[in-house]
Amino acid sequence: MKSSEKRAFWKFFLTYFISVALLILTAGHFYYSQMQHQLLEMEHFSLIEYAKRLKVGESTEGLEGYTHRYEQRTFEHFSIDNFNQRNDQFEKWVPGNEKGVYIFITKNTTHFEEQRNRLFFVVAGTQFLLLLLFAIISFILARNAIAPLQKSIRELDRFAKDLIHDLNTPVTSIGLNLKALRKEPLLHNHSALDRLQKSADAISDLHKNLRYLLHEGSYTPELIDLEQMVDSLLAEYRQLYPHQHFEVAIHERNVQANAAALRQILDNLLSNACKFSADSGKITLTYKDKKLTIADEGIGIKRPERIFERSYSEQYGSGIGLDIVKRLCDAMQVHIDVLSTERGTSISLTFR
């Protein structure tokens, strides 16, 4: 199951399970509160029954946990419903047979605590079993609900991969034919070829980024020789953009990241810097204190806060390249910042 399918599955599962779990826990709480109230009422009733025995002269032998004493006292506002729980005992005052005499009855809470604990474990156990049952039911429902979506995602994924694979041949063919046409004396500097070359480069970049977009896997960090990677990339870009001036200042040679992901990030950022910089412009790469910065002297970005949005582009292009950059940075927990003015753009990558 791929990450997109897993996200959809867990979304369905958690939706089912959490809604039912909240209902079960809420019902259990109210049931426990109600039953505890009933247990207290039974304790109150037991004190009343004990008082009746005392008043009619019946024996209280065999009734454990009770104590009583007679007291001569007055109450400003006496209620027969008085009943208190204090520390480890229940207390109740009951009028005696003689005027002004009251019986103070107490009962320890041992029996009540035992019943309440038993109630708690019964309710908690029942809730646990119900939650387990509904977790299984939610799992089954989520799996059944996600099955059509999984099938659609797999078919779409297969179609997209086949399409991108089939694009490789015409993209390569266009590039080779453009190179052949430039060898023709009459077409060497023709503006139509420049426009075709720009479109071909855009298609090639889109093809390359779509492959990464569909790539599914974890980006395991490793120790990378950044200087070697940058030199390899710049060797290609110096041929593609011979009029650009590249400056490199790498103060720390190694960086902890995924090699394939980092190369794609740098490739996309360098490609944008070269495309949107003036001829003979300067592009600077600096790495120091775990921060890699790529700065250009291009036309700048009007809305830098939107450049990582899918399909957003201020110039030509699909807008997927920077979306790929942001996705890869997030996957590797690399923080990315953009600073842009009319005199150029600076993009910084801060590694962990």
Residues 94-152: tens digit of each pLDDT: 999 888 899 999 999 999 999 999 999 999 999 999 999 988 988 888 788 777 767 77
Name the amino acid, one letter, at 298: G
Among 159, 182, 163, 160, smallest CA distance to 171 is for 163
Per domain, the residue ranges of the chain are 3-134, 218-350
What's the pLDDT at 17? 86
Rounded-to-integer distance, Cα 90 and Cα 66, Å: 9
CATH class of 218-350: alpha beta
Q: In this model, does residue 68 exceed pLDDT 60?
A: yes
Rounded-to-integer distance, Cα 117 and Cα 124, Å: 10
Cα–Cα distances (Å) from 42 to 46, 158, 312, in that order, read 6, 69, 71
Angle (CA) 69 73 76, round 5°: 130
pLDDT bucket at 60, cuts 50 / 70 / 90:
confident
Contacts for 7-15: CB closer than 8 Å, 24+ residues apart:
8/146, 8/149, 8/150, 8/153, 9/142, 9/143, 9/146, 10/142, 12/141, 12/142, 12/145, 12/146, 13/138, 13/139, 13/142
Across 62-73, average pLDDT: 91
**Count of alpha carbons within 13 Å of 151, Cβ hemisphere only?**
5
What's the pLDDT at 332? 86
Q: 3-state class of 338 per DSSP?
A: strand
Q: In this model, does residue 50 exceed pLDDT 80?
A: yes
| pTM for the predicted model, two decimal places | 0.49
